[in-house]
Structure 1
Amino acid sequence: MELIQLRDTDDVAIANTDLPAGREASSGSRTVTTRQDVPRGHKVAVRPVPAGAAVHRYGQVIGFAGRNIAAGEHVHLHNLEYREFDRAYEFSVDAREEEILPVERQATFQGYRRSDGRVGTRNYLGVLTSVNCSATAAKHIARQMQFSGVLDDFPHVDGVVALTHGTGCGMAPDGEGIGVLRRVMRGYLSHPNFAGFLVLGLGCEDNQIVKLTGEAVLRPDLPVVSATIQELGGTAKTVREGVARLTDMLPDANRARRETTPASELILGTNCGGSDSYSGLTANPALGAAVDLLVRHGGTGIVGETPEIYGTEHLLVRRAANREVGEKLLRRIDWWKDYTAKNGGSMDNNPSPGNKAGGLTTILEKSLGAVAKGGTTTLREVVEYAESVTSKGFVFMDTPGYDPVSVTGIVAGGANIVCFTTGRGSAFGCKPVPSLKLATNTPLYEHMSEDMDINCGGIVDGGQTVEAVGREIFERVLRVASGEATKSEALDYGDEEFVPWHLGTVM
């Protein structure tokens, strides 16, 4: 199959191989002759499109013809452009009550049941910094714990994670910026994948530890100790004391044991990065099928990246459980329009150069592929960045499109496992939560086999169905949630990917 055309009404098809100029290529009963060389994954016009007319893919508008486009032409940055256009918002017309399997029929995994009832998929100790100034000391503490051999006697502890970041001071002591930072940090402090914490500061920062921990809701079985470098007498003393305090936590942390738990306790975070034209054909819809399965088993699936669902909000509000949920989403879209305008940007500043090299042209096209990660079930709730997710089913979280910032918010919201789709080869992990990497195409999977967990490329080149690959993803999620290591965990990714969203003025 040289061309992939999803719907008869689409004006473009995707080249499934490099097509030289003058090549006859077909998709079903439709055949065109290419007028230029068309790289694999890029778009070919299957019918003439006059200048100014809408161009369709997925049965939706992905942009407008910048000039007359002839059948067989390569359609990309030189002749397809982004424009705003009106969309009809039909609230909740596709919402439905899903059939949720009874607990006795739900799939299960082996998880850590915590005293507050939540379930972890890993068992870590954490060093959480209140400010950038304590980041180096926190990393030294985690490294000493990791390489000293002290963890060898505690096989049920997965390790020590240093959660460091670049802010915490030089900001208003109250308001949106520090509020978002503290919401992220409290989300990690309450995360079921942690068995204990050292919260480490400098001492004089805006983000005072007492303000952070004093308002956090912590479970009864979670030891949390705090310290500052200034209080302890400098960096070296802080590292020694930090190692001692975490070492004291190890015996209790090591007593945790996995137990059989229904899949309804899983909160699956989804994200896509380094996308290509195959993302919306293979990995994203397959992940959406896995989310649908998880919802049927009583679990939760989270989609974020608001700038990367822009242009598809009219499809999501159709699935909103009620008008209030749909309007929440539209308010977040309006916030982003205002936010980008204030900063001299545009909602079409995406796709990235790598996305464009992979065949994506406009944010509308990228969004239509990205939103497929959310499957087909009813949109139950819309939450703000790093807000605790308490609803079951499909949930949308307002996050930026930048991968580490997005996933940091999703994990702070409670995700205990993540699936990350990529068509270009993103390198990513997100301790303390395991992250599965889903390749959109077979050449990428084979080229980066030590980084990719699942190949979704068989949907276009191996006769697999979206549903079958979705089932494969769902079953792998259960195994990883039970302790099976992902490729990113084997490569020790995740320490540098804790990146809270920085809002507000740097003073």
Structure 2
Amino acid sequence: MSDTLRTTTSLPLAEATILLRPDDDVAIATRDLLAGTVLEREGAEPLVVAATVPRAHKLAVRVVAAGGQVRKYGQSIGRATREILPGEHVHGHNLAMDDGEHDYEFGTARVTVPPTMRGRTFRGYRRADGRVGTRNFIGVITSVNCSASTAKMIADQFRGIGVLDEFEHVDGVMAITHGSGCGLVPDSNGGQTLLRTLRGYAHHPNFGGLLVLGLGCEMIPVQSLTAGLDLPEGLHVETMTIQDSGGVRATVREAVAKIRAMLPEVDQARREDVDISELVLGLNCGGSDGYSGITANPALGHASDLLVGAGGTSVLAETPEVYGAEHLLTRRAVSEEVGRKLLDRIAWWKDYAAAGGGTLDNNPSPGNKAGGLTTILEKSLGAVAKGGTAELSAVYEYAEPIERGVGFAFMDTPGYDPVSVTGLVAGGATVVCFTTGRGSVLGSKPAPTIKLATNTEMYERMHEDMDLNCGRIVDGTATLTEVGEEIFEKIIAVASGETSVSEELDLGQEEFVPWQLGAVT
């Protein structure tokens, strides 16, 4: 919309924007505001929009001096690069990173989450070791990229309409392939991260059967993916290498026969009523916009609190996207040790980014900026809302096993969505909630993904890819609490077998992307 277009429209400020805190310097536009629009304020001079402010972008509500902090959510989201006047659009042309240091506190903002959902159940698959799955897949897990194409050929034999009709309690056969497994030192950080990720999937309660496939000469052999894992009794596991089996065609034939023999036994699993304290919820976002931090993210945070209050587990991730808001999480830490562990990961990421010639404030992405986000501080302050208000009980390394019943926790992952969600699922997440403002199409087999739209416009445009519209919070047709409770109920329904949109589209096999670290030789 051109800035040369002007209007004499007059509106109450509260009808056209959202002011999150009384002392914030900016409000968020809930519609496109043309230059010249007059925004009436009770007890104050009206604002005149200086230049067009797109929907979900920021509008200055008071003067900010050059170099001064600009506040949103009651926190600094950056510093003004020049004087900003009331009515101006606040974005990259006048707002930059605030590199000021935070004063960290530990355990000073503990909040008791509501226990109102205790006793609720879902329909899950209880495995012999006591863990509970939300799906019942057979996985073809590869130890090395050299076996990836063969694994997909095997899984493809079980795709298509009617192929598994006689096995109604098997959700499918999926290939778990990746781009590594050789050319790296197995004992290195990168090698151990990959191995931990693969072992996490092998041990995931959403698998009722496994076929572990390698080439035969790789640095990470097939046996290492399951050795010492204490796999539950009743989990059907086969291992193969292409070289020992006589090549690709022979391997596909043999593997298909092994899986066909496995299917009747895997199909014996049945859902049963299980307490929701057995759920492990992964929290992630992608393609965020200016509404993410005021609709879908805090609504998901409310659902997370309800689950934690019922004894369940909820895990936030994406370390580069809590940078600048980590001080809010340390205040909720159950101990200084837990809070310090989060700060150690932030420090590691600063060094990691610097070694690659970048900084953590290179984020947000172009799509985030088009959606109204300007700095990583602003993005992070909205992103941490997915974690609700519960105490931070633990901080995990990437793909590290998540303790059931730990409450609210954090996992160190990159911000890149497929890599982040892969780490959460490897850690044991059995359901993933994913918020998006621009429109992500991610899936996360074997754990179902629930996609939450932050705004109604995108939801209506991409409704076939979204599970729930959280934009109704801004539209005024639902409250944050109501939408949070809807998300919570959707989590229970999907965990009990309701198909999410991502599953309808058969997404998630290609989105298995382990974090690749270190040198490849």
TM-score (norm 2): 0.95
- Give the aligned CA root-mean-square deviation in angstroms: 1.3
Q: 1:42, CA displacement in angstroms?
A: 0.6
**Matching residue's letter, 1:234:** G
> Structure 1: 5+ residue runs without aligned partners?
none
Cα separation, 2, equivalents of 1:429 and 1:25? 42
- Match of residue 320 from structure 2: 307
Q: 421, 435, 442: which one pairs with 1:428?
A: 442
Structure 1 partner of 2:413: 399
Q: 1:392: how far off?
A: 2.1
Match of 1:69 among 80, 84, 104: 84
- Find out whether 1:2 has 2:16 as its counterpart: yes
Match of 1:42 in 2: 57
- The letter of the residue matching 2:238 is V
Shift of 1:98: 4.8
Aligned to 1:80: 95
Distance 1:57 1:462 in 2: 21
Find the aligned partners of 1:120 and 1:154 in 2 and give their Cα distance: 18
Q: CA deviation at 1:147?
A: 3.4
SS of residue in 1 equivalent to 2:254: helix
Counterpart residue type for residue 356 of structure 1: K
The answer to whether 1:56 aligns with 2:71 is yes
- Alignment correspondent of 1:124: 137
Letter in 1 for 2:426: A
Alignment of 1:471-482 (within 5 A): 471-482=485-496
> Residue 211 of structure 1: CA displacement?
2.5
**Residues paired across the two proteins, number:** 505
Report deviation, 1:150. 4.3
Equivalent residues of 1:101, 1:298 under 8 A apart: no
2:30 is aligned with 1:16: yes
| AA aligned opposite 1:499 | V
Q: CA–CA distance in 2 between the matches of 1:374 and 1:152?
A: 39
Residues 312-321 or 460-469, more deviating: 460-469
The reply on whether 1:329 has 2:347 as its aligned counterpart is no
**Residue 149 of structure 1: CA displacement?**
4.7
Residue correspondence of structure 1 range 373-452 to structure 2 within 5 A: 373-390=386-403, 391-452=405-466
Q: Please show how residues 51-450 of structure 1 align to structure 2 within 5 Å.
A: 51-96=66-111, 98=113, 100=115, 105-147=118-160, 149-390=162-403, 391-450=405-464
Q: 1:20 to 1:100 in 2, by over 3 A?
A: closer
Supply the distance in 2 between the matched residues of 1:41 and 1:99 (Cα, whole angstroms): 31
SS of 2:361's partner is: coil
Measure the CA separation in 1 of the matches of 2:482 and 2:114. 20
Residues 419 and 436, structure 1, Cα contact 8 Å, conserved in 2: yes
Return the offset for 1:125.
Answer: 0.2
Following TM superposition, by how much is the alpha carbon of 1:101 offset from its aligned partner in structure 2, in angstroms?
A: 6.2
Deviates more, 1:140-149 or 1:53-62: 140-149
Q: Counterpart of 1:260 in 2: which secondary structure?
A: strand
| Contact 2:114-2:305 at 8 Å conserved across structures | no
- 2:135 touches 2:171 (CA, 8 Å); kept in 1? yes
C-alpha distance after superposition, 1:276-307 (max 9, x if no partner): 00000000000000000001111011100000
- Matched residue of 1:161: which SS? strand
Taking structure 1 as the reference length, what is the TM-score of the superposition? Answer: 0.98
**Paired letter, 1:67:** R
Tell me the amino acid that sits aligned with residue 504 of structure 1.
G
CA drift of 1:248 comes to: 0.9
Q: 1:3 touches 1:26 (CA, 8 Å); kept in 2?
A: no
1:216 positional shift: 2.5
**Hey, what's the Cα distance between the residues in 2 that align with 1:215 and 1:265?**
24
CA contact (8 A) 2:113 2:305 kept: no
Query: 2:511 corresponds to which letter in structure 1?
Result: E
Relative distance call for 1:23 and 1:150 in structure 2 (3 A) is closer
Contact 2:24 2:74 in 1 (8 A): yes
Change (3 A) 1:27 1:198: farther
CA distance in 1, matches of 2:332, 2:139: 38
- Report the CA distance shift for 1:16/1:100 in structure 2 as closer, same or farther (over 3 A): closer
User: Which residue identity is paired with 1:476?
Assistant: K
Contact residue 113 and residue 306 of structure 2 kept, 8 A: no
Whether the 8 Å contact between 1:5 and 1:27 is mirrored in structure 2 is no
2: CA distance, partners of 1:93 / 1:15: 33
Deviates more, 1:15-24 or 1:271-280: 15-24
Any conservation in 1 of the 2:125–2:134 contact (CA below 8 Å)?
Answer: yes
